[in-house]
Chain A
């Protein structure tokens, strides 16, 4: 093995204390230096951490931003979600390919630039967008794509691509991004003005049990989508046996179409960190981890700086706010491109330096989470709510929203609307009101809560945004009259196929099949019986999958079958001669034609 590499690996491993549970950070650091985690690096890391090489390989091979094969020093990742596709993704791809002289998934012959696609990067409100290494480029067009390539070729410096800065903290020196916040509606909770330190101070003047009671009284439910009562989660974790406890903040905002956490982390990071500190105090934790998705790496220096200032000001560290006996600090764990890590047990696996496989439940994180210790995992938005609840009391918070869904909800709205962006609205608002605010006048369908949620049509637009009706993590994608419902569903199934961890049979194998049946129907080769087969497969995946990803992965098919059935029915036909329409004679003969080197007589009869 070459000496410089093994020395570099050794140094990186030592910087993380030779701690196996920091493997994800270690491989990220190795790749940052070497552009890949090559065979030699895998061996060196394994030796340094005294773990089997296959465990390092297992981790590296799991995350889409990590690679064991050399890539360019610059990697361009084009966001391929449905909203980007609706806004000219194809033209952008074409321009990049032409200008670079390579196809998707390839590296330029000089080995300098790699072009790839990636799942939603949280920029649907300014699509098409892409990541150039950690730098976000938005509102792309084919002209911009060509400009980007020329700039990169000239200077090989992604930072130089940022010619105009976004609003608010996006213009901060430590963020320096062209990203726009697009905050369209500031509500009374999340985006309200606040005094830094007030909430933590107030919490620390109470007993931990009182803090939990306060959160329970507010009836705050988790904002990530599942809606579990926050106070109850804290109470379970506080009551669970364990010498150490942990607070994890889920900032792995990966549900396509959502970008509200991006804005919160940009504009309200103190609120998030205060919420984590309060949670730490309530459950008896000394460490919090912000799990930041790899796509938001551009926010990291800024967030580290916010943490540093909080330490300097006594809001983190030893005896927080002078409270004897309460020591609490926060570290940031970077993700590396894996939607599944938004699932709380996968997020824990990832924080422990492993593949982002979900864990077996029970035990639940409140009993055995991070490093086997009782752990609270809360969404970014939930923690912002906590801060507000401590600032002004639970009654002020629960005065907004409905009985079962108190407070406000952030919606990330994108797609066919005039005002895409983030809206803070009280629970209880109807979807129709939301669409009006966003300037979505002619929507034929809305995807609520992302691909894992549901697609509904205009007959359901009077439904209410709340946990008991239209429950949502916030992703709200609007589709106008020219959109093809099945194409959208198909894009979502491609997404789940790519993002399945592969652990369990139904999600790994089933979603591939589901996507294929859907394609067959879209191509006009489907039969009536295929609809029943689709429904059956979807049901098996939903019921038997191991985690939330698998259990919700067939929703694009199930909810479009339910709400847009005529679209399917118009495409499926039974063959008059009772032949199987899905059978493609040409394709079936292709291999033997290639082998014999002559066309089949059947295809030319």
Chain B
């Protein structure tokens, strides 16, 4: 039984398997750690920093930090909640996000996370960057205005679709998603059935012709905050 470890999150004992990341063990135990770039099934990435927790007092991203026997993890503390709000605000102001007419609204993880963390409007100054839209592909569009650089599409295209349609170019505030072609998405082998399209947490990567299909009231986060699905889980420890 050497591969079983136990640690605590905010005082609650969490059972885990050696080699698991903290966020995975937390999910299984019904403890929600906010996240955006992390998605089960994709390689850990650690870029959004929303899942920053304190592990024995030291900051680490729960999606990339392996569990270890007896470590003390702090997750839902006032300070960390505050930091996470600021990170979400940073993402909002560094792009151009218009929830009121975005077809991802209600199903958007960024928007849902803002609601969960109690953000009504950013307090940080909007940057209003000039970003492009690539609507060249007949069935798919990329709106860089709404991209939060989580890299989910990059990983999904590479690891799930086996295609490498997307990659990162540039650095710093000029970093952006690029496509594997001379110019446009239409020149790639991207297909409307690609799993890369399913993983975008925001409205940056969209299937055309199907917008606003789900009416308000029946969208993913219309009734319960994001994370509820995990918190509603029967904790493994108690079964």
* B211 at interface, CB cutoff 8 A: no
Q: Are B172 and A61 neighbours in the complex by a CB distance under 8 Å?
A: no
Binds B, one of A255-263, A306-314, A541-549: A541-549
The docked-state distance in angstroms from the alpha carbon of A58 to that of B175 is 10
Q: Are B167 and A505 neighbours in the complex by a CB distance under 8 Å?
A: no
- With contact pairs A61-B169, A502-B171, A546-B49 given, residues A54 and B179 touching in the complex (Cβ less than 8 Å): yes
Among candidates B64, B127, B180, residue contacting A53 with C-beta atoms closer than 8 Å: B180
Query: Could you say which residues of chain B place their CB within 8 Å of the CB of A338?
Result: 171
* A366 at interface, CB cutoff 8 A: no
Among candidates A54, A340, A362, A505, residue contacting B164 with C-beta atoms closer than 8 Å: A54
B65 to chain A, nearest CB (A): 8
Query: Could you say which residues of chain A place their CB within 8 Å of the CB of B179?
Result: 54
A101 to chain B, nearest CB (A): 27
* A540 at interface, CB cutoff 8 A: yes
Within 8 A of B (CB), among A497-522: 497-506, 508-510, 512-513, 516
Among candidates B61, B65, B66, B167, residue contacting A58 with C-beta atoms closer than 8 Å: B167
Q: Are A509 and B90 neighbours in the complex by a CB distance under 8 Å?
A: yes
Q: Are B49 and A513 neighbours in the complex by a CB distance under 8 Å?
A: no
Q: Are B93 and A509 neighbours in the complex by a CB distance under 8 Å?
A: yes
Among candidates B91, B180, B182, residue contacting A505 with C-beta atoms closer than 8 Å: B91
* B170 at interface, CB cutoff 8 A: yes
Query: Could you say which residues of chain B place their CB within 8 Å of the CB of A537?
Result: 86, 124
Q: Are B172 and A360 neighbours in the complex by a CB distance under 8 Å?
A: no
Q: Are B173 and A512 neighbours in the complex by a CB distance under 8 Å?
A: yes
The docked-state distance in angstroms from the alpha carbon of A516 to that of B90 is 13
Q: Are A501 and B64 neighbours in the complex by a CB distance under 8 Å?
A: no
- With contact pairs A360-B46, A544-B59 given, residues A536 and B86 touching in the complex (Cβ less than 8 Å): yes
* B237 at interface, CB cutoff 8 A: no
* A555 at interface, CB cutoff 8 A: no
The docked-state distance in angstroms from the alpha carbon of A34 to that of B174 is 25
- With contact pairs A506-B87, A508-B149, A543-B59 given, residues A513 and B168 touching in the complex (Cβ less than 8 Å): no
Look across to chain B and name the residue whose beta carbon is closest to the beta carbon of A43.
Answer: B182
Look across to chain B and name the residue whose beta carbon is closest to the beta carbon of A551.
Answer: B59
Query: Could you say which residues of chain A place their CB within 8 Å of the CB of B52?
Result: 543-544
The docked-state distance in angstroms from the alpha carbon of A289 to that of B175 is 28
B112 to chain A, nearest CB (A): 17
A172 to chain B, nearest CB (A): 35
The docked-state distance in angstroms from the alpha carbon of A533 to that of B124 is 9
- With contact pairs A54-B180, A362-B66, A540-B83 given, residues A509 and B173 touching in the complex (Cβ less than 8 Å): yes
* B139 at interface, CB cutoff 8 A: no
Query: Could you say which residues of chain B place their CB within 8 Å of the CB of A239?
Result: none
The docked-state distance in angstroms from the alpha carbon of A308 to that of B49 is 46
Q: Are B181 and A53 neighbours in the complex by a CB distance under 8 Å?
A: yes
* B41 at interface, CB cutoff 8 A: no
Query: Could you say which residues of chain B place their CB within 8 Å of the CB of A546?
Result: 46-47, 49, 61
Q: Are A502 and B174 neighbours in the complex by a CB distance under 8 Å?
A: yes
Query: Could you say which residues of chain A place their CB within 8 Å of the CB of B178?
Result: 54, 57-58, 61
Query: Could you say which residues of chain B place their CB within 8 Å of the CB of A540?
Result: 83, 86-87
Among candidates B125, B171, B180, B182, residue contacting A355 with C-beta atoms closer than 8 Å: B171
* B32 at interface, CB cutoff 8 A: no
- With contact pairs A52-B164, A509-B93 given, residues A504 and B49 touching in the complex (Cβ less than 8 Å): yes
Known: A360-B46, A508-B94. 10 other contacts (CB 8 A): A54-B169, A58-B167, A62-B170, A360-B44, A502-B168, A502-B174, A505-B91, A513-B90, A516-B125, A543-B52
Pairs A–B under 8 Å by Cβ, sample size 21: A54-B164, A54-B166, A55-B167, A57-B169, A58-B167, A62-B169, A355-B168, A360-B64, A502-B174, A503-B47, A504-B48, A505-B49, A506-B49, A508-B172, A512-B94, A513-B90, A533-B123, A539-B83, A540-B83, A544-B87, A546-B61
- List the interface of chain B (C-beta within 8 A of A): 44-50, 52, 59, 61, 64-66, 83, 86-87, 90-91, 93-94, 123-125, 127, 148-149, 164, 166-175, 178-182
